[in-house]
Chain A
Amino acid sequence: MSPIVKLLAQRISLSLLLLLLISVVIFAGTIVLPGDVAQSILGQSATPEALANLRAELGVNDPPVQRYFAWLFGAMQGDLGTALTSGQDIAQALSSRIGNTLFLAFWAAVVAVPLAIFLGLLAVRFKDRWPDKLISAVTLASISIPEFLIGYVLMYFIAVKMRWAPSVAMINDSMSLLEKLHSIALPVAVLTLVVLAHMMRMTRAAILNVMQSAYIETAELKGLNAFQVIYRHAFPNAIAPIVNVVMINLAYLVVGVVVIEVVFVYPGMGQYLVDHVSKRDVPVVQACGLIFAAVYIALNMFADIVAILSNPRLRHPK
């Protein structure tokens, strides 16, 4: 087996193992937490018999290991259980919301990633001159301001004053793609501002690091212009760290949008999670936790795979 296939196989099996471990942690965590689901469903005035009946019905009394495996095998088959509070099937309730969350994250990424990398390249080209400083200042400022504040500020100016985009990002299946994009324009803008700085600065740092190499001097002495040097010779050697930080930010876009979804009343996973955490609906919290963990692990795995594939020494062994 070639070394690169072996490395990739190792990396992927490590991810699966990690996901399994996290499922244990999520399950154990929700058991250890204090509180009583039955109590929170029935309220303070419930009789002890009613509480006992409900607990038996919910299966809370079974041994934890048995409950874990039942839950795990169910999850592997796409059955995430039923929500305690509403009795709804979780997988069904989640499916449209995951779609919405991914839709928002995808369009935020489509805008933010190329923009961040382009700004990073630009900052390298004009290092320590005004364009570099301006880019750094603006992106750092946007990452430093809390995202809900940016959200409300944009809402006030763009939605309320100028009326370019709606302040509430409602979407549904009957809308066309263009209508949907118009609807989510503001949350996409906010998310872009939030993740831009991190990716832009890593692009800048990774490329500047490569710019110290002797082969950059070779390229300069070939008479290439600054952009050719950066784009052809520096960028290919800086891909691994850049992809890494891009993936972490994409993961953030998927799992970290809770606040934005609440601000813009967007029907995504974040809001669904928040609703059910407050009701102590353990199966929903577990399901959401598992999905978020899977997204994080998958994206980071993808970053590592790109890093392995971008290394010519691994791709083309001696």
Chain B
Amino acid sequence: MSDTLLKVRDLKIGATVYPPGERPRDIDIVHGVSFDLAPGKVLGLIGESGAGKSTIGLASMAYGRGGVKITGGEVWINGRDILKGSHKDIRKLRGAEVTYVSQSAAASFNPAKKIMDQVVEAAVEQQKFSRKEAEARARVLFAKLGLPDPDNIGDRYPHQVSGGQLQRCMTALALCPEPDLVVFDEPTTALDVTTQIDVLMAIKEAIRDTGVAALYITHDLAVVAQVSDDIMVLKMGNTVEYGTVDQIINAPQEEYTKALVSVRSIEHEEKAPTEEPVLSVRNITARYKGTQFDVLHNVNVDLYPGQTLAVVGESGSGKSTLARVITGLLPPREGEIEFAGRKLSSDLNGRSREDLRELQMIYQMADVAMNPRQTVGTIIGRPLEFYFGMRGAEKKKRIVELLDEIELGEKFMDRYPAELSGGQKQRVCIARSLAAKPKMIICDEVTSALDPLVADGILKLLLDLQKIENVAYLFITHDLATVRAISDNIAVMYQGKVQRYGGKSKVLNPPFDDYTDLLLSSVPEMKLGWLEEVIAHRKMESAGN
């Protein structure tokens, strides 16, 4: 065998796009990328969305998602240019020499089949192993990946195991046929931060023990630094920088890489609570209809005018439920909510139009929170009509003001949501909520779906607007870097309870309780060897979501 397993030369990938109101046209997604991967080595592909990293990963299996087509270049695996192979050659390659681990194992497992059937399928179908051998191998892999009850977990259906466990099963699926190369496509992105560490460690050890080579695709440089030997930084389908992990992290050459490596640039001084709180959540206990257990237990938090309260926690901690209770979508079993000096009706139907106007909301998915058939002007103008009865020139003037505040400007007024980028869409949603002149905005994971640099811009905008409009934010997030960047007060939630609550400096500094310690230490840091260090110093097991 030669000393390169995967050799990619001048890879060009294109697709046909269908812009609204225009003719379909062909665009280039990847403009000539080249790299080498030796057996047993790990190459990290990193970049923001649209950089082409997943597309390149799938191209190494001669696969194009949707209308994506490989338009030029060479992909050599084990000395063969797979792009010149027939359909049959390519089928023999997939699932045998190269396998794939996707971002969402929950969606990538067939819900109608047992896990074991799916894990061994490629190995058996490609005649690498007999069914019996493959199952034995799968059990060994299950154990190696730290799955509970490795002998029997394969008899379960995908919905019967947790997200983190399923992601490990997916890794077992990829390793089962003894491939030469595994493509990991954001394998830990959808997981909670404390679970991410476990899966990351499991993947790293599995790669080391099986001697397989890997392409590791992610947008998180701190994560890729833990598992890779080399890193390639991509932007808009071009190679920005390509080097060893040590060089990229410790001595980046390009401006773009430096921006990715540098930690969040936002500095926000914590403000002390001054006046009466705008929102007081008192002894809230809540459960969902038809269930037998409380998802919130006796929650107490305050939010002060013009300040930000960050509610941080992992999935299932109850942070989104708290938002539902405050907005009136889920009337609590016990407790009450005071808002702007008055008691709020626990049920949405009992709230006045003033209550609704003063308490606005921004969502994680900006594109589904807007009517795709309305223009930006109509979307932002709607609350102006609804709450203030504005019409005609007056309304237009205010819309333009708001568009200026979110740094988009008047030219965006007649555009449709489909013509905007992710960050621009979120800005429009911010303008829509500001149009109501609220006292408080609930921001539910508003930057989670955005690339880091774009998210940074949104956070800066939110802080600037807070100074101008004196609006308070209840900021729900799982991302501790975001919390650090913008909060004045922090509530750490764990299993429906407020685990830790107070000013930012108090909450984020020792002495910690065990859970906050686990949560804070699980945030990947941009340094080599961090993963091993943190695993060695753990006091508490992760929630295992």
Contact = CB atoms under 8 A, between A and B. Distances in A.
Interface string B421-453: 000000000000000000000000000000000
A316 B94 CA distance: 31
A221 B107 contact: no
B100 A221 contact: yes
A217 interface: yes
A255 B217 CA distance: 58
Nearest to A315: B157
B91 interface: yes
Contacts of B159: 312-313, 316, 318
Contact of B109 (A215, A228, A232): A215
Contact of B110 (A219, A228, A310, A318): A219
B194 interface: no
A225 to B, nearest CB: 6
A237 B157 CA distance: 14
A223 to B, nearest CB: 4
Chief secondary structure at chain A's binding surface:
helix
Interface string B160-171: 100000000000
Interface string B58-94: 0001010100000000000000000000000011111
B100 A237 contact: no
A225 B91 contact: yes
B111 A220 contact: no
Contacts of A233: 110, 113
Nearest to B63: A221
B241 interface: no
A214 B107 contact: yes
B107 A223 contact: no
A129 interface: no
B104 to A, nearest CB: 6
A242 B61 CA distance: 33
Contacts of B91: 223-225
A93 B112 CA distance: 47
Contacts of A209: none
Contacts of A218: 100, 102, 108-110, 118, 173
Interface string B138-158: 000000000000000000110
Contacts of A95: none
A310 B157 CA distance: 13
A236 B109 CA distance: 13
A213 interface: yes
A236 B112 contact: yes
Contacts of A236: 110, 112-113
Interface stretch (B120-128, B362-370, B401-409): B120-128
A6 interface: no
Interface residues of B, number: 31
Nearest to A310: B112
B157 A316 contact: yes
Q: Specify which of A219, A221, A224, A316 lies most central, judged by the most chain B CB atoms within 10 Å of its CB.
A: A221
Contacts of B92: 223
B99 interface: yes
A222 interface: yes
A127 to B, nearest CB: 14
A220 B87 CA distance: 12
Given A218-B100, A222-B95, A316 B109 contact: no
Contacts of B90: 223
Interface in A169-226: 213-215, 217-225
Contacts of A221: 61, 63, 94-95, 99-100
B157 A312 contact: yes
Contacts of B94: 220-223
A215 B110 contact: yes
A222 B107 contact: no
A310 B110 CA distance: 13
Given A214-B102, A223-B95, A313 B125 contact: no
B96 interface: yes
Contacts of A223: 90-96, 122, 125-126
Contacts of B160: 316, 318
A221 B177 CA distance: 13
A318 B91 CA distance: 35
A219 B102 CA distance: 12
Contact of A222 (B109, B111, B122): B122
A225 B121 CA distance: 13
B157 A217 contact: no
6 contacts: A213-B107, A214-B108, A217-B108, A223-B90, A233-B113, A236-B110
Given A224-B121, A236-B113, 20 more contacts: A215-B108, A217-B65, A218-B100, A218-B102, A218-B109, A219-B110, A221-B63, A222-B94, A222-B121, A223-B92, A223-B93, A223-B95, A223-B96, A223-B122, A223-B125, A224-B91, A224-B95, A225-B91, A232-B113, A316-B159
